[in-house]
């Protein structure tokens, strides 16, 4: 009974969510596309011809937006799950933390990437502190990987949760990048502790 009630509440919330409704109109696979759009509008990240890696890409809304704005560039979309095809993307099914998958990502693009982005979060346990810490570890893994593959003036974008390992992640980012900002888009749900870390220019 409790599970059914939670499911019903989730469905009702989705129906009321303007970003969910708009995503269906605009053809995005998830409302999370608007978070990246807001990030791009504020920080002026994407331009035509860029090479982008999208870590934890499924269901693909971030890759969809990137595909529209980089145009003649290239996007590598990586996830454990299979995704429907997206224009101008190369999809890799696997765990980006594994060396073989990282080498495969590097193989597709001989030059450095302009953007490494991640909207990854672990499957939730319902215990917020644990979820925050585990998602934070994914963010750190993605950041360390980005250091290997992005250009000197490249961008790193990642989901980050307040609390947990937040301070550790920001401190690590400042060691790797010259410019570090934390931003919560309006399209993030108000009750969520989610924000995004935007890093630019390798040290």
> What domain range includes position 141?
29-202
User: Has residue 4 got a pLDDT over 90?
Assistant: no
Q: Which residues have CB under 8 Å from 24's CB, separation 6+?
A: none
CATH classification of the domain holding 101: 3.40.50.150
pLDDT tens figures, 10-47: 344 544 578 888 998 999 999 999 999 999 999 999 99
DSSP-derived pairing of the beta strands 113-118 and 150-161: parallel
Give domain status of residue 56, yes or no. Answer: yes
Give domain status of residue 168, yes or no. Answer: yes
Give domain status of residue 5, yes or no. Answer: no
Asked if 8 is an active-site residue, the reply is: no
SS3 151: strand
- What's the number of domains the chain is made of? 1
pLDDT tens figures, 48-103: 999 999 999 999 999 999 999 999 899 999 999 999 999 999 999 999 999 999 99
Q: Which residues have CB under 8 Å from 84's CB, separation 6+?
A: 29, 60
pLDDT band for position 5 (50/70/90)? very low
pTM, two decimal places: 0.89
SS3 75: strand
pLDDT band for position 126 (50/70/90)? low
Which residue out of 5, 74, 147, 159 is catalytically annotated? 159
């Amino acid at each position: 009974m409790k599970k059914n009630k939670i499911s019903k509440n989730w469905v009702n919330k989705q129906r009321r969510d303007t970003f969910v409704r708009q995503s269906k109109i605009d053809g995005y696979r998830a409302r999370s596309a608007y978070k990246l759009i807001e990030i791009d509008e504020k920080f002026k990240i994407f331009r035509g011809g860029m090479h982008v890696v999208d870590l934890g890409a499924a269901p693909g809304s971030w890759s969809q937006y990137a595909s529209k704005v980089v145009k003649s560039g290239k996007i590598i979309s990586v996830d454990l799950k299979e995704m429907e095809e997206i224009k101008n993307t190369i999809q890799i099914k696997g765990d980006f933390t594994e060396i073989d998958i990282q080498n495969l990502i590097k193989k597709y693009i001989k030059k450095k990437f302009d953007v490494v982005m991640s909207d990854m979060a672990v499957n939730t346990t319902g215990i917020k502190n644990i979820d925050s810490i585990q998602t934070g570890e994914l963010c750190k893994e993605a950041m360390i990987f980005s250091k290997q593959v992005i250009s000197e003036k490249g961008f790193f974008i990642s989901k980050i949760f307040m609390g947990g390992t937040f301070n550790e992640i920001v401190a690590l980012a400042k060691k790797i990048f010259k410019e570090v900002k934390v931003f919560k888009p309006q399209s993030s749900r108000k009750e969520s502790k989610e924000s995004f870390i935007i890093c630019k220019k390798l040290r």
